[in-house]
Amino acid sequence: MISASSLFPKQVDLNACDKEEIQFIQNIQDHGALVIIEVTSNRVVAKSESIEKHLSLKQTLILDKPFGEEFADLDLQKMIDLTSFGKPKFDVVTIANRQFTAIYHQVEKHLFVEFELANPSKGTYNQQAELSEIFAQLHTVDTDADMCNTAAKLIKNFTGYDRVMIYKFDEDWNGTVISEEKNASMESWLGVKYPATDIPQQARRLFLKQGVRLIGNINSKPLNIITNSKIRFDLSNCEFRSVSPVHIEYLSNMEVTATLTAAIIYKEQLWGLIACHNTTPKVVDYYQRSSCKFLAQVFSAQLGLRSSNTVLEKINNKNRVRATLVEQMSSSTNIVDGLTLKEAPLLNLVEASGAAVYFDGVLKRIGDTPPETAILELLRNINNTENDLFYTHNASQYFKNSETYKEIASGVLCAFISRSKADVILWFRPEKLKNVIWGGNIELEAKNHTDERISPRKSFKKWASQQKGCSEPWDDADLSAAVELKKNISEIILKKYDEIKKLNENLKNAYNELESFSYSVSHDLRAPLRGIDGFAQILKEDYYQSLDAYGKSAINTIIKSTNKMNTLIDDILSFSGLGKKSINVSLFKFDRLVIDVIQFINTKTLYPHSIINIEPNLGKIKGDRPMIFQLMYNLITNGLKYSAECNKPKITIGKENECYYVRDNGIGFNQKHANKIFGVFNRLVGDEYEGSGIGLSISKRVVEKHQGKIWAISEEGVGSTFYFSINDLLIE
Amino acid sequence: MKKPHILCIEDNPNDIALMERVFQKLISDLEVQFITNGQEAIEFLKSEKYKARKPKFILLDIKLPKANGLEVLKAVRADHGNSQIPVIMLSSSDRVDEIEKSYKLGCNSFIEKPKNFIALKKRLPLIVEYWYHNNI
């Protein structure tokens, strides 16, 4: 699968902050203290500036000496053992009669121990109460919006920050404030959208890792890490890691002094943030930060539960719709008719407003779709993807001409049915205009961002823009429904293919049987016919004189009838024989063939009054000569026969627009019977004209054997013209 | 001395009657002997009677009861003594496979049965004349 954001790079690169190595900032915020101990030697290899003052130590902490004396409460070996699996731990310790929370973790054989003053009024008991409240409240909300509001309210109550926001990322990492609790005097940021560059990828990765992050006071001077080592310590898991200057500038532009941020992680991705802001310096202790983290976790779990319920319901609905489509397809003679039998199921399957099915080179559209030419162009553009599915909710990003139909198809979902990508189902969603309020004018920011120095944006004035050319995005349920439908279709096609193959075989067998049946019946009829004719002839030879007039005419009628039946048998045999015959192509002069036919018919004797006109432009023809001979024989005798009784009968054989024709000025027929005359035994005239009613069927077979067409144009009393064309390219 | 004769293997009584008439009226200097099934024909070809007085040529229908014309043809050619005798297949069929098989088995000619009596009267004497004289 391909999604929009992965294919096309952003035009404007505001991501310079991504390159800032914030985890390697070598200082910490001033509300804590840090000691780094080498695990292999137990030596203190680094300490934060003025740690002695911070912890009221009586003596200077000497670097490169074993850790111990000053921190009698801490069991170093236990700390090392506990953190060897990577998880941070904490203890409450008493140092110089004051209680501190020691938070410690290990990174590459270094133990990082951070100290912060414990808040004596808040303790484990308090935290227990907070946690159960969080759990109870988040568990009983009805909607996602309620859950966000409840979460924001709880955090504000527990921590007392000026502003608490729930911030949600979209697929491009732009964030929107979806819930907010704030002091009454502050301006609301609810609904404001922040571009992805505000929280760079680096920072997002750290949030994912750490879960909760405190910035106590952006104006305080950070504390340096003092060390004799040349190692650059990775402080990314440190609670008090100092803040990047870019971020400090960003916060100060927003007039924020202290923050607390907790990551909401859903499906191992950053779903959003709980962001707490304070205009004055503010530090919350470890317990409160843990509560915040816990809340974010409960929030995530609830989110998963809620969304899997909605997704489940959605999938159930889609499965029902899909079952309808499968049913329709199975009971239709072809897939496309089945898919499009009713508009609703195909559209509802992925909640689209238009769909197009392109099968065997034929496009069928339902609902609101772009024009046919636009769809075909779209398909040509999508065709080079290697995937079975293509989708976007922002078609203009991909297809330069899609602007013109964005109202109908800003969203495009395309499922390739066949491996060759020749058969496709497309769904369309209309443009959905959205008013987006940005925290700052992002277009302006991008323009200003030309200098090399990484600096955050300065303006947070609300700036409204309209999101254009986008539809509602396709969600996982839509995509999986499309994939499942594709599978269903492949199965049905396979099944239908088998059925057709079987039917074809049966038909072929039946056809062959019929051919050999008519062949042998015709031959068997010959023998008795020879008898009837022969004995009638003998009667005529030996007894004619002794018969009266009626007897004589009876004998003549018998002989005439047997002749007629012989002709009929000849025609049936040649018609059924043609079915099996393969064509033997050669190039020959058409006028020569026509002359041969006319001589064979013996027109001078049989039709002495008819004029036969052969146009000079007949040229050469490529085909099976004996078959074409038969074709021309049939057409010319037909013309002669039906014009013989007319005044000045005339037959013209010519060529017009690559089509040959035989024209007569005979009795003609009603044009509405023009197709009927080519059917076996279909005759428009009575017995006054001789013929088996097979001649034109044979002609049609000959032409079809040459992958050509035959048709007639006629007018009663005026004459008929029989045209035929043969495909001399295909029969090569 | 007896007239020269030909052998005709044909089962259809109508065809026999009509051919007999043509022989009587138009080719009276020849005698024709009819055998009406394949099996009988094969046996007759082995008989002393046959060897004592061989026909000038054989007219052989393809569709025959008990053994068909192709089997009879095979039997004719299987006998060394008959390798030179002309065999003319007479058939109402024009199936290419039957024609090819007949020639492969050694017939001298394959002729479609005339469709009516007039044609028979015209063609039979020509056939007889051709093969009779060719065989002298």
Does the distance separating the beta carbons of A534 and B14 come in below 8 Å?
yes
- CA B58 to chain A, closest CA, distance in angstroms equals 20
The answer to whether the A15-21+122-306 and A581-725 domains have the same CATH topology is: no
HEC profile for A456-523? CCCCCCEEEEEECCCCCCCCHHHHHHHHHHHHHHHHHHHHHHHHHHHHHHHHHHHHHHHHHHHHHHHH
Q: What is the DSSP letter of A646?
A: S
Residue A214 bridge partners (DSSP): A260
The total of other beta-carbon atoms located within 10 Å of residue A423's CB is 21
Q: In A581-677, which residue ranges form alpha helices assigned H by DSSP?
A: 590-601, 603-606, 625-643
Alpha-carbon gap, residue A525 to A321, rounded angstroms: 61
Judged by a CB distance cut-off of 8 A, whether residue B116 touches chain A is yes
Quick one: pLDDT at residue B35? 93
Residue A439 bridge partners (DSSP): A462
Judged by a CB distance cut-off of 8 A, whether residue B120 touches chain A is yes
- Do A262 and A212 meet the contact criterion of CB atoms below 8 Å apart? yes
What does CATH list as the number for A581-725?
Answer: 3.30.565.10
- Do A229 and A46 meet the contact criterion of CB atoms below 8 Å apart? yes
CATH architecture of A15-21+122-306: 2-Layer Sandwich (3.30)
Which residues on A lie below 8 Å from B98 (Cβ)? none
Quick one: pLDDT at residue A55? 86
Does the distance separating the beta carbons of B118 and A530 come in below 8 Å?
no
Judged by a CB distance cut-off of 8 A, whether residue B36 touches chain A is no
**Which CATH superfamily includes the segment(s) A26-117?**
PAS domain (3.30.450.20)
Closest residue of B to A560, CA-based? B116
Does the distance separating the beta carbons of B21 and A538 come in below 8 Å?
yes
Pick B116's closest partner by Cβ from A528, A530, A538. A530
Alpha-carbon gap, residue A118 to A416, rounded angstroms: 62
Quick one: pLDDT at residue A124? 62
Quick one: pLDDT at residue A7? 33
Domain range enclosing B54? 5-134
The tokens describing A154, both together, are 């709880």
- What are the two backbone dihedrals, phi and then psi, of residue A245, each rounded to the nearest 5 degrees? -55, -35
Quick one: pLDDT at residue A199? 80
- Do A558 and A547 meet the contact criterion of CB atoms below 8 Å apart? no
Does the distance separating the beta carbons of B115 and A530 come in below 8 Å?
yes
Which residues on A lie below 8 Å from B91 (Cβ)? none
Which residues on A lie below 8 Å from B12 (Cβ)? 527, 530-531
Does the distance separating the beta carbons of B116 and A533 come in below 8 Å?
yes
Pick A566's closest partner by Cβ from B21, B93, B116. B116
HEC profile for A232-270? CCCCCCCCCECCCHHHHHHHHHCCCCEEEEEEEEECCEE
A contact set with B (CB within 8 A): 523, 526-531, 533-538, 562-563, 566, 573
- Do B135 and A552 meet the contact criterion of CB atoms below 8 Å apart? no
Quick one: pLDDT at residue A123? 58
> Length of chain B, please?
136
Alpha-carbon dihedral angle through residues A97, A99, A101, A102, given to the nearest 10 degrees: 10
Judged by a CB distance cut-off of 8 A, whether residue B96 touches chain A is no
Q: What is the ipTM of this complex?
A: 0.85
State the sign of the Cα–Cα–Cα–Cα dihedral A319, A321, A324, A328: negative
- Domain borders along chain A are 15-21+122-306, 26-117, 581-725
Does the distance separating the beta carbons of B93 and A530 come in below 8 Å?
no
- CATH label of the domain that carries residue B118: 3.40.50.2300
Quick one: pLDDT at residue A12? 33
Quick one: pLDDT at residue A450? 46
State the sign of the Cα–Cα–Cα–Cα dihedral B42, B43, B44, B50: positive
Q: In A26-163, which residue ranges form alpha helices assigned H by DSSP?
A: 51-55, 76-83, 124-139, 144-159
Does the distance separating the beta carbons of B120 and A534 come in below 8 Å?
yes
Quick one: pLDDT at residue A16? 46
Per-block mean pLDDT, blocks of 10 residues, chain A (732 long): 35 45 77 90 89 84 80 81 84 85 89 86 68 80 83 88 90 86 88 82 80 90 89 86 85 90 87 92 87 86 78 85 90 86 89 91 90 87 77 83 84 84 87 74 53 55 73 87 90 85 88 78 84 92 92 91 85 75 84 90 86 89 88 91 88 90 91 82 67 81 88 90 81 45
Determine which of A519, A526, A530 to mutate to test the interface with B (most B C-beta atoms within 10 Å): A530
Task: Tell me the per-residue pLDDT of A161-206, one tens digit each, with 9 for 90 and over.
Answer: 999 999 888 877 888 898 999 998 888 888 888 888 788 887 788 8
Quick one: pLDDT at residue A712? 92
The tokens describing A426, both together, are 């497309």
Does the distance separating the beta carbons of A523 and B116 come in below 8 Å?
no
Residue A165 bridge partners (DSSP): A180, A275
The CA-to-CA distance between both ends of chain A, in Å, stands at: 45
Number of domains in chain B: 1
Judged by a CB distance cut-off of 8 A, whether residue B91 touches chain A is no
Which residues on B lie below 8 Å from A530 (Cβ)? 12, 14-15, 18, 113-117, 120
Alpha-carbon gap, residue A636 to A655, rounded angstroms: 14
Quick one: pLDDT at residue A279? 92
Strand order across the A258-266 sheet = A212-215, A258-266, A269-278, A163-169, A175-182, A192-194, A434-439, A462-467
Place of tokens 């199975």: A330
Query: Which regions of chain B are under pLDDT 50?
Result: 136
Which residues on B lie below 8 Å from A538 (Cβ)? 18, 21, 117
Alpha-carbon gap, residue B92 to A520, rounded angstroms: 10
The identity of residue A389, as a single letter, is: L
